[in-house]
Chain A
Amino acid sequence: MTGYAAFSALLVIGGPRVPAPGVSPLEFTISAPTRARVGARVPIVLRLHIASDRPIEAHFLGRTIVFDIVVTGDDGAIVWRRLEHEVGSSILQVRMLEPGETMQWRDAWLPRKPGHYRVQGILPSDAPEPLRTPWAGVEVSP
């Protein structure tokens, strides 16, 4: 392997260097309750699962892996961002992940107004675009 080349982005599969087109060996998912109340913390869990039968080289930002969570309102505007105004070191961590391995990150969001919100997890790396979970919907009642 020539290493962490520019095209490697977040992933490099052990053995063959290029993943099969359209098949992601990583599953990055988000878990959050579908309903919540204003003023009650909403627990959010991000999971990165290695859905591959081979080890995968993954790239992450930070000595302690940095993850971000964004919450948007109905209009798409960001109402909360976990790393808003945070400044961290720009070191790149390289990890070999085993088949079936799952990594997990947790945080909580405190809703301040009722409404319909969408939540997404983000894992920055040296790829041009970070890895993102699908959006999850949260209905916040008064």
Chain B
Amino acid sequence: MSHLNPLRLIVPAALVVVAACQDTTTPLAPVAARVTPSAYAPQQVQRWFDLMAREGLALPGTVLADYDETTNRVVVGVEHAAAGASVRALAVRLGVPAEALVVREMEPIRFAKTLQDRVDPRIGGIQIHFGNFLCSMGFNAVDGGQASFVTASHCTNKQGGVEGTVYYQPLQSVDGVSIGTEVEDPPYLRHVAGCPRGKKCRHSDASRAAYNPGINSALGQIAQTDAASPNTGSLILSTNGSITLSGGDLRDHFTIGETMNKVGRTTGWTQGQVTMTCVTVNVSGSNISQICQTIVENSVQIVGAGDSGSPVYTSSNALAGILWGGNSSGTLLVFSPLKNVDDELGSLQVTP
């Protein structure tokens, strides 16, 4: 059983410390340093702990229970004062002396949320699910007054053409309420200027889905991980909020060497440099070519399976496009510039 020491407890910062054996609220400090061990036999306090853990943690608003060997007291963490009062009343009923009990207010302990979890409101970079496939949400957009999100065209039931693909977030098995339906995905055509012979082409691998009524989304927001630097692989969402897009970058040619970022459900926040701009790319294993795409590379992995649809943005947080592919080692990614997405899906409002 661990000591409940604020310096060692891995929870969000405690809000207030309230000790039942003291009259006043004290600032955060190690309890052991200022509290005399209770006068009761440790075995007796242990039995009280067993009682309080079994009965006390059944009360609403309780967070944890501990037998603190250092102070020889039972410690119960609660979310708010009302829960604390309930715990103290229970202690009286169970015959646990107030001197042997510490009730401490603290934030509830939650699982760390990741890009692959349910995120509400919906923002760019989080996992989406359709059929037997997983992709990443690109970015939120308003088109003709319709709240929407953009992802890759191949992250629909059929790449090119509207089939009404139904999306879930993060998974249908986790949240059975669909978040949106595909409404726009122009067909791939053979007779497009610049399209290689025998191929079907578009200038963007992008589609748009309309949010269903009641689904919350945050325009201009992209998920932010807890990583202090890119390419760490962290998928854990930052507790400091999300990335706010500064606007849309409507270039289709980018500067070689320019740094680009992306956030996706598989490799999180990654970053690389533009190595080729406005290139026609054959999509492996298909008869599709994408015209005027941008290549970003790094020496480490920056893209993985499931990152399709990820938002790509510049160093100044301007939305630059939609990621759709990469090489087998994941050190090279390809994205469709936002300009091409706009040209094919219509002008999209991407920030409030």
Which residues of A are in contact with B by a Cβ distance under 8 Å?
Answer: 1-6, 59-64, 66, 68, 81, 83, 85-95, 122, 124-126, 128
Contact = CB atoms under 8 A, between A and B. Distances in A.
A63 B154 CA distance: 9
B245 interface: no
Given A68-B328, A124-B328, A90 B233 contact: no
Given A6-B114, A63-B154, A91-B155, 6 more contacts: A3-B170, A5-B114, A61-B305, A83-B284, A88-B328, A124-B328
Interface of B: 114, 116, 127, 132-135, 152, 154-155, 170-171, 173-174, 205, 233, 235, 264, 266, 281-285, 303-308, 323-328, 330, 332-334
Listed from nearest, the 10 A-B pairs whose CB atoms lie closest are A92-B306, A61-B305, A88-B284, A83-B328, A3-B171, A86-B284, A92-B134, A90-B308, A92-B305, A90-B307
21 contacts: A1-B173, A3-B116, A3-B170, A3-B173, A4-B116, A4-B134, A4-B170, A4-B306, A83-B327, A87-B325, A87-B326, A88-B283, A88-B285, A90-B266, A90-B303, A91-B155, A92-B135, A124-B305, A126-B266, A126-B304, A126-B305
Given A2-B174, A3-B173, A64-B285, A91 B308 contact: yes
Contacts of A83: 284, 327-328
B306 A6 contact: no
A114 to B, nearest CB: 28
B332 A87 contact: yes
A35 B180 CA distance: 55
A125 B134 CA distance: 11
Given A83-B284, A126-B304, A91 B135 contact: yes
Contacts of B284: 66, 83, 86-88
A6 B325 CA distance: 20
